[in-house]
Amino acid sequence: MNFTQTSTCKILAEMEPMFHRLGDRARDLGLELSVWNSEGLRVGEFEPNCEFCRTVFEAGGGCMDRVREIAASVSQDGSPVATCLSGGCSVVAVPIRKRRRIVGTVVTCWPGQSWLDEEFVARRCDELHLDHQTLSAMVRKVCGRNQQKCEELLPWLEWVVENEQALHTANNELATLSTNLSTTYEELSLLYSISGSMRVTQSPEAFLQAVCEEVREVMNLSAAAAVLHAHPPAVHEDTVVISGDLSLTNEQVMLLASTQIMPMLVENNHVVVENQFQWAAHPDLGKEVRNIVAVPLMGENTLGMLLAFNKESADFNSVDIKLMNSIGNQSTVFLTNNMLYADLQDLLMGVLHALTATIDAKDPYTCGHSNRVAIISKRLAESMGLPAQRVQQIYLAGLMHDIGKIGVPESVLCKPGRLTNDEYDAIKKHPGLGAKILGGIRQLDDVIAGILCHHERLDGHGYPQGISGDEVPLDARIIGLADCFDAMSSDRTYRKALPLEAVVSEVQKCSGTQFDPKVVEHLLSWDLEALLKELCQPAKTVFPIRIAQEDAV
């Protein structure tokens, strides 16, 4: 088997630096050097180094035709040649090999011993129409090697060519090794960075987006995408994230994933590799997708999939697949944890809502009060620019602010008329009772203060402790206002709801004594009519706060 001409040319072209080094060494020794490919064609221009050679060459006395024949024969049978030509030129030719195959010939030549013979010089000068004296002078400078020298040069040239080739190969290997090492480092660092960035409070979309960006860069893809199935399906929708340039829209990626890839994933032992991708059902949509790797995000159920599109300048190989599998597995761990976290969070919220619903159930007139206070408190906290974590804390405190009423007799709670002092004292116990009920739950520690102090006033006339000013926690000031606002604007057992103007003027009147003026300012800056209307609507989702997400505003 032989290299084709184009492939030998390419191989020789890659060896160019080596020929330059050889040429330099030859020149130092007063030798001319030329390179021939396996077809017997000269590679590059032949430019004689020494003046003598150049003169003879330009006068047409060069021996290129003979050298070509010699190069061709060396390329053919691989045996080196050392000979003197009739034109006076001495030639040494050795083969160049790549992967043990001859890809060309290196030829060195120089003016041979014949040129020392005056008669020979005179004859050649006549043939070439050159000046005898000038040429003789040039010859004396460069000439003098005989056939024996020629044969001595042969092993030297073979040795140099061999060494240069070894150097060339070593350089190439080093380059390949470095490239591979750098790729390996990138892959490793990708895995490190993904496992390092798995914070359970991150949203799955943000996590997968970051994963796709990294995957695209490290694997040299035009695009990477992730499809995430809804969890739980009834409440949420499937999502798609894409990084990079992809001719498909999110919906098209979803279609591709569900109709084409998923059945293959199921059939294909959990990974799909398509180096000649075709989308049978939608050839026009799929035409810009050359190749694809897909791995499932597989927990107990299929959570979704990761997709790699169009690896640049190569097919996907097992290295890519292992990497994708590993990233898929890591992502699955994250998603599973995230879902567990969300489930726990939902469970907690569900339990808390159920708990507060028991209070509201005791008094149908206050039905929904806890929930409304929670929502108003949350809005106030948000509007005051508090961080997400704190907003959630205030929401929870708002939700459970009346939980202590479970310890207040129903006869007192639902009494339509005026309360006696004893009855009022019983009512005043509910913030303390609430704090006590929830006091055993470590995770709700931050919520307690808001519950315990929601009936305290800035002027110190509140209960149960009668603290004043800055001693009243901000959470409690927010919830206290939300509580009174909702109490005044809804019907109660002992009175109808006050008109909005009356509520507003009451709030304004008590600003600074009962309420924190800063919080009042935020409340009164809203469209309160719209707020009341909205609060009457049944809640769209059961839990307006799901998880304190970092990337949530």
Partner 1 sequence: MSVKKILVADDEAHILHVVSMKLRNAGFEIITAVDGEEALELCISERPDLLITDFQMPFMTGLELCTQLRRQDATRDIPAMMLTARGFDIEPEEMEAAKILAVLAKPFSPREVLQKVNELLATVGAEQE
Least Cβ distance, residue 176 to partner 1 (angstroms): 6
- Quick one: residue 67, left, alpha or beta (phi over 0 = left, psi -120 to 50 = alpha)? alpha
Axis crossing angle, helix 500-510 with helix 474-489, rounded to the nearest 10? 150
State yes or no: residue 540 binds partner 1 (CB under 8 A): no
Residue type, 319: V
State yes or no: residue 173 binds partner 1 (CB under 8 A): yes
Q: Which is nearer to partner 1, 177 or 347 (CB)?
A: 177
Q: Which is nearer to partner 1, 132 or 322 (CB)?
A: 322
State yes or no: residue 86 binds partner 1 (CB under 8 A): no
Question: Which of 39, 40, 58, 38 minimizes the C-alpha distance to 48?
Answer: 58
Q: Which is nearer to partner 1, 200 or 314 (CB)?
A: 314
Q: Which is nearer to partner 1, 319 or 536 (CB)?
A: 319
Residues 168, 18: contact at Cβ < 8 Å?
A: yes
* Of the candidate residues 321, 333, 412, 467, the single one contacting partner 1 (CB under 8 A): 321
Least Cβ distance, residue 171 to partner 1 (angstroms): 11
State yes or no: residue 319 binds partner 1 (CB under 8 A): yes
State yes or no: residue 189 binds partner 1 (CB under 8 A): no
Interacting span for partner 1 (CB under 8 A) from 68-76, 104-112, 319-327, 350-358: 319-327
Question: Which of 343, 383, 344 minimizes the C-alpha distance to 520?
Answer: 383
Work out the number of other CB atoms within 10 angstroms of the CB of residue 20.
11
Least Cβ distance, residue 313 to partner 1 (angstroms): 15
Least Cβ distance, residue 173 to partner 1 (angstroms): 4
Least Cβ distance, residue 358 to partner 1 (angstroms): 59
Least Cβ distance, residue 324 to partner 1 (angstroms): 12
Q: Which is nearer to partner 1, 273 or 481 (CB)?
A: 273
* Of the candidate residues 167, 177, 281, 524, the single one contacting partner 1 (CB under 8 A): 177
Residues 311, 217: contact at Cβ < 8 Å?
A: no
Residue with tokens 């030549």: 109
499, with CB counted inside 10 A (0-12, 13-18, 19+), is exposed
* Of the candidate residues 6, 276, 318, 443, the single one contacting partner 1 (CB under 8 A): 318
Task: Give the C-alpha separation, 296 to 300, whole Å.
Answer: 12
State yes or no: residue 180 binds partner 1 (CB under 8 A): yes
Least Cβ distance, residue 476 to partner 1 (angstroms): 59
Residues 498, 489: contact at Cβ < 8 Å?
A: yes
Structure tokens at 148: 């024996």
Binding to partner 1 by CB under 8 A, coded x per residue (else -) over 249-278, reads ----------------------x-x-----
Interacting span for partner 1 (CB under 8 A) from 88-96, 179-187, 369-377, 396-404: 179-187
Least Cβ distance, residue 177 to partner 1 (angstroms): 5
Question: Which of 247, 289, 293 minimizes the C-alpha distance to 274?
Answer: 293
Q: Which is nearer to partner 1, 103 or 481 (CB)?
A: 103
- Quick one: residue 454, left, alpha or beta (phi over 0 = left, psi -120 to 50 = alpha)? alpha
- DSSP, residue by residue, 487-536: HHHS-BTTBPPPPHHHHHHHHHHHBTTTB-HHHHHHHHTS-HHHHHHHHH
Least Cβ distance, residue 542 to partner 1 (angstroms): 46
Q: Which is nearer to partner 1, 135 or 265 (CB)?
A: 265
Interacting span for partner 1 (CB under 8 A) from 145-153, 176-184, 342-350, 416-424: 176-184
What Cα–Cα distance (Å) separates residue 427 from each residue in 240, 373, 375? 52, 18, 24
The 3-state DSSP class for residue 176 equals helix
* Of the candidate residues 28, 45, 77, 99, the single one contacting partner 1 (CB under 8 A): 99
Bridge partners (DSSP) listed for residue 102 = 97
Q: Which is nearer to partner 1, 5 or 134 (CB)?
A: 5
State yes or no: residue 176 binds partner 1 (CB under 8 A): yes
Task: Give the C-alpha separation, 101 to 90, whole Å.
Answer: 26
State yes or no: residue 166 binds partner 1 (CB under 8 A): no
State yes or no: residue 182 binds partner 1 (CB under 8 A): no
Going by the DSSP 8-state scheme, the letter that residue 442 receives in this structure is G
**Sign of the CA dihedral running 400, 402, 407, 411:** negative
Residues 32, 26: contact at Cβ < 8 Å?
A: yes
Q: Which is nearer to partner 1, 148 or 184 (CB)?
A: 184
Q: Which is nearer to partner 1, 188 or 340 (CB)?
A: 188
Structure tokens at 231: 């969890």
State yes or no: residue 100 binds partner 1 (CB under 8 A): yes
Binding to partner 1 by CB under 8 A, coded x per residue (else -) over 294-313, reads --------------------
Q: Which is nearer to partner 1, 29 or 188 (CB)?
A: 188
Using CB under 8 A, count the residues that bind partner 1. 17
Least Cβ distance, residue 317 to partner 1 (angstroms): 4
Work out the number of other CB atoms within 10 angstroms of the CB of residue 191.
16
Residue with tokens 């150097």: 167
Work out the number of other CB atoms within 10 angstroms of the CB of residue 514.
21
Task: Give the C-alpha separation, 402 to 373, whole Å.
Answer: 10
Q: Which residues bind partner 1 (CB under 8 A)?
A: 1, 99-100, 172-173, 176-177, 180-181, 184, 271, 273, 317-319, 321-322
